[in-house]
Amino acid sequence: MHKRILIVEDEPAIRDMVAFALRKGEYEPIHAGDAQQAQVAIADKVPDLILLDWMLPGTSGLELARRWRREALTREIPIIMLTARGEENDRVAGLESGVDDYVVKPFSTRELLARIRAGLRRSREDDEDGSVTVGGLRIDGAAHRVFADSPEGEQPVQIGPTEYRLLHFFMTHTDRVYSRSQLLDHVWGGSVYVEERTIDVHIRRLRKTL
């Protein structure tokens, strides 16, 4: 069964190029030119991963990412942002909106496929992880959900996929200190290049969530 990849990109030439690369990589590409088409595609069948352009007509990719991270149906889908914005502040803004990774245009299809494989692999590894409880936090590995104790009883915690992976790693490796590079190796995987600044953004998001 081929993994379904939703391409949210308003430029047909880029969309077609990415779709061609995905089919060669044995993925099933789904097309969307704007936020509305993307919502329709997701309602039809939830994709395994989303490639999201930063600049879209109407609703921007940043706004879409924030919306999807708030909604239960899309909260756990890995999102890779496609952007012509290569400045560090722009990349940080993208990460803070809830995306898991970004690829700066112009990009090679080889790099894009590597990022997709890494994103899907991390998502799949999460599904195979067991449940764990530390203090007032509990991770249900089968349901891929986080719960926290409160005066009203156990409550679900809304959390993005990268923050989930970080939290799971911390909860299964307690009483140890890790460097940024070690976290990148353990949580992102050593085969994909990710800047160390990325870890700061996700740690900040995880702290804010908790």
pLDDT of residue 31: 92
pLDDT tens profile 125-135: 554 556 888 88
pLDDT score of 23 more than 70: yes
Which run of H or E residues covers position 146? strand 145-148
Q: What is the DSSP string of 49-97?
A: EEEEESS-SSS-HHHHHHHHHHSTTTTTS-EEEEES--SHHHHHHHHHT
pLDDT tens profile 77-132: 899 988 876 666 766 776 777 788 888 888 888 888 988 988 887 666 554 556 88
Q: What are phi and psi of 125, to 5 degrees?
A: -60, -35
**Integer Rg of the chain from CA:** 17
What is the C-alpha to C-alpha distance for residues 140 and 189, in angstroms, rounded to an integer?
A: 23
More reliable by pLDDT, 124 or 157: 157
Which DSSP state fits 159?
A: -
Q: Which residues pair with 53 in a beta bridge?
A: 82
Enter the pTM of the model. Answer: 0.64
57: preceding bond cis by omega (within 30 degrees): no
pLDDT tens profile 162-194: 888 889 888 888 777 888 877 877 777 655 566
Q: What is the mean pLDDT of the chain?
A: 84
